[in-house]
Structure 1
Amino acid sequence: MAQTKNLEVWLRGPLPDMPPLLQPIAHALLQAREEVQSFMQDFPEELIWERPAGVASVGYHLQHLAGILDRLFTYARGEALTDEQLASLYAEGKPVEAADQVSALMQQYEQRVDRALEQLRQTDENTLTETRRVGRAQVESTVHGLLFHAAEHTMRHVGQLLVTARILREKTQA
């Protein structure tokens, strides 16, 4: 039997207490978290806001990963964004007030993943096709559409974060 530790999350089997139709979303969020944790280990603090070739910084991606999960899962619950969530959105890409920004941003991201997973566990699969409204324009989506997009959008930014982080690490080692 293959070692499950070395397999991607989706190949490790069903997650306990996770509704079957939401397993792929949970697997994607857990895979993203594992990849970010691995790649951000010992990431140089002084590189967190660097923008090689003008691309978004690693710090921005960490903020956006946490923010997008928070916002899309809020919409999936049928709620509007709070003033605090909007302020967080507008602060993405700006340094945080913390001695160890890498650690602070990682902690915020990991907490958002945990909250998202808990919301997935509590989501009734019978609500997945219910309409939800998004943003000020109240664009129509569904619970499932929002949850799926949260996972897809997360993976997109994880890929961008990993490439940016690798370029920055290589630059400092050259």
Structure 2
Amino acid sequence: MANEPWLEADQTEGAQARRADLLKGLRQVQYWIDEALAQVPDETALWWEPAAGVPSIGARLQHILGASRRLAAYALAADPDPESLAAAARSDWTPQMLPKASLAQEVRDFFAELIHRLEALPEEAMDELRPLGRKRLPVRRWTILHHLVEHAAYHSGQLILLVRLYTHHVG
């Protein structure tokens, strides 16, 4: 098993360190997701719901992907449409019953593209105000991206717990 990304030595200082921390956070989330999914044996486990009202591993992964896409759109898109982004949010938790490999690859592809876009973003752009949500509140790009990492990390922890619950449920 490779080291967790947060354990990698820091190579930057000053303003560049802020971006490096953000990128490290995204890589850490991907690491947690990959580690959790490696323990999910099949689609039955992926879509298992431990109790009424408790979304499955797959639905939670869909939400991580959907919410991360929306937050990335607010942070990076030229003119994000809050109405269409809000409409997309309504389907996050509805199980799509995708194969594990497809859903995992979709998440990996999204995070890889996001990391690539952030690496190319000029440093001064990180502090630009961006319109967020239906109220179009002015929020710094950095803050939106930081929340994206926090939100994805929060739900990644839930993935890890659900995998453990499933393992004990069938074990």
Q: TM-score range by the shorter chain?
A: 0.7 to 0.9
Give distance in 1, aligned partners of 2:9 and 2:166.
35
1:12 equivalent in alignment to 2:8: yes
Specify which of 33, 41, 51 is matched with residue 49 of structure 2.
51
Specify which of 145, 150, 153 is matched with residue 155 of structure 1.
153
Maintained 8 Å contact 1:48/1:102: yes
1:60 equivalent in alignment to 2:59: yes
Which residue number in structure 1 is paired with residue 37 of structure 2? 40
Distance apart, 1:11 and its partner CA: 2.5
Matched AA of 1:73 = A
Q: Describe the shift of the 1:20–1:63 C-alpha distance in structure 2 as closer, same or farther (beyond 3 A).
A: same
SS in 2 for 1:52: coil
Maintained 8 Å contact 1:71/1:81: no
Give distance in 2, aligned partners of 1:103 and 1:82.
30
Distance apart, 1:13 and its partner CA: 2.9
SS in 2 for 1:80: coil
* Structure 1 runs (4+) greater than 6 angstroms displaced: none
Alpha-carbon displacement from aligned partner over 1:67-98 (angstroms, at most 9, x marks no partner) = 12211111112531488755542221223264
Q: Describe the shift of the 1:117–1:156 C-alpha distance in structure 2 as closer, same or farther (beyond 3 A).
A: same
Distance apart, 1:102 and its partner CA: 1.3
Give distance in 1, aligned partners of 2:101 and 2:83.
25
Give TM-score scaled by structure 1 length: 0.83
Matches within 5 A, 1:10-159: 10-14=6-10, 19-43=16-40, 44-53=42-51, 54-77=53-76, 78-81=78-81, 88-96=88-96, 98=98, 101-159=99-157
The number of residues matched between the two structures is 165
Give TM-score scaled by structure 2 length: 0.84
Distance apart, 1:140 and its partner CA: 2.4
Q: Which residues of structure 1 form unaligned runs of 5+?
A: none
Q: Describe the shift of the 1:27–1:145 C-alpha distance in structure 2 as closer, same or farther (beyond 3 A).
A: same
Give distance in 1, aligned partners of 2:142 and 2:91.
28
Matched AA of 1:137 = K
Distance apart, 1:7 and its partner CA: 3.3
Query: Pairwise CA RMSD of aligned residues?
Result: 2.4
Give distance in 2, aligned partners of 1:97 and 1:51.
12
Alpha-carbon displacement from aligned partner over 1:109-148 (angstroms, at most 9, x marks no partner) = 1111111101110111112221111111212211100111
